[in-house]
Amino acid sequence: MRITIRVFFLLAIALSFGVFHESSAQNQKRVIQLSGVILDQDSVIALPGVHVYVPKAGRGTSTNGAGFFSMPVLVGDSVVVSSIGYQRQHYIVPNHPSDFLTVIVEMVEDVTYLREITITPFPTEEVFKQAVLALNIPLDERNIDKKNLNAELFALMARSAPMGAELNYRYYMDQTIAGYTSKFQPVTNPFLNPFNWAKFFKDMKKNKTK
Domain residue spans of the chain: 30-106
From the number of C-beta atoms within 10 Å of its C-beta (0-12, 13-18, 19+), residue 36 rates as: buried
Q: Region 185-200: what's the mean pLDDT?
A: 74
Q: How far is CA 61 from CA 36, 48, 69, 93, 186, in A?
A: 12, 11, 7, 16, 22
106-153 residue pLDDT tens? 999 888 888 888 777 778 888 888 888 887 666 566 666 666 677 887
DSSP three-state, residue 139? coil
Could you tell me what percent of the chain has a pLDDT over 90?
A: 26
The domain 30-106: what is its CATH number?
Answer: 2.60.40.1120
Per the CB < 8 A criterion, the answer to whether 87 and 110 are in contact is yes
Dist. CA 145–CA 178, nearest whole Å: 48
